[in-house]
Amino acid sequence: MSIILKLNLAFILSFTLQSSFAQSDPQFTQYVFNQFYLNPGAAGMGNMSNISAFYRSQWSGYTGTFDTDGAPTTQLISASIPFAPLKGGLGIVLTNDQLGGGSTNREMNLSYAYHKRVGNNLIGLGVSAGIFNRTLNGGDFRPRESEDPSIPTSKISQTQPDLSAGVYLYNPSYQLGLSVKHINQPSFGFSTLSGKSPLSRSLYLNGSLLIGISYTLDISPMFVIKSDFKTVSPEVGALVSYNSNYWVGVNYRWQDAASFLIGGNFLNNKLSVGYAMDYVVFGTLAKATLSHELMLRYGLSALRSGKKSIIRTPRYRY
């Protein structure tokens, strides 16, 4: 069997790095604001309805060996609402992950979470069902041997069902989640051979804590641990917020990158805007140095009767 030489080195790198913690799952530095994507149990949490959008440019400005382009980019849109008739929350997630080299992964998932109050905590038991699509443009490959049957010669797209589940613990002062994505391990095959490439199950353990330093200053340690049940990749960071409206923070992704985060709430705390920049500290010879990520979130309080409850912080993380 010949060794495949890719037209674009970014394609190989993206699969290599992602397989080290959660194969085929895009990564987000602002994960603390993206809980619902990581865990369907977070659907409708915090008594908030919100719409979120993320745009990530990985290794911005990367140029492959033969190309003038190839940096991976990811777009995500999600919506989550509390739904009292079902005693929980509903949500939808759409992702478009362009890996470079003619490869694209797309997801569409619908989620339901059952909410159970335990003391001051709210526990969400969530399930997610949808589809996972992989598209591969064989014309972007450079085979070492011509007419290699393992290499598609045209653009091929395949779609498979995808299932996920998770449990999420919510409290205004702390959050903790555990989830598994791609439970059914959907499988794809793009060549004329019988070989298949299944998606690995992805395990996520993540959490955050809100610590009041003063009346106007808070600090929030945060972490996420990602695994494909073979290898583990941890991230750890912290945010400092002023007046529960503006924040700055740092994050470190093990053997990859150090990150800087900044953001704020606007329009009476309905609109949240965040930005993150990653600086690669490992593998600098094979990757562009910087990655950029933008977050937009619009939130609305759920309809309720009686007195308004006190909100500890308007930073929506679910």
Give residue-wise pLDDT tens across range 34-68.
Answer: 999 999 999 999 888 999 999 999 877 666 655 55
Where are the chain's structural domains?
4-145+157-188+198-301
Give residue-wise pLDDT tens across range 245-263.
Answer: 999 999 999 988 999 999 9
Tell me the pTM.
0.83
CATH superfamily of 4-145+157-188+198-301: monomeric porin ompg (2.40.160.40)
In whole numbers, what is the pLDDT of the chain averaged over residues? 83
With beta carbons less than 8 A apart as the criterion, state whether 318 and 170 touch.
yes
* Residue 183 pLDDT exceeds 90: yes
pLDDT band (50, 70, 90) for residue 156: confident
Q: For strand 202-209 and strand 197-198, is the pairing parallel, antiparallel, or unpaired? A: unpaired
Give residue-wise pLDDT tens across range 62-116.
Answer: 666 555 566 789 999 999 999 999 999 999 999 999 887 678 899 999 999 999 9
Query: How far apart (Å, rounded) are the C-alpha atoms in residues 186 and 310?
Result: 44
pLDDT mean over 210-214: 94
pLDDT at res. 305: 39
Helices then strands, counting H and E runs in the chain, come out as 2, 19
Query: Residues of the chain with pLDDT > 90: what percent?
Result: 58
CA 163 to each of CA 103, 144, 182, 210: distance values in angstroms, whole numbers, following the listed order? 22, 37, 5, 31
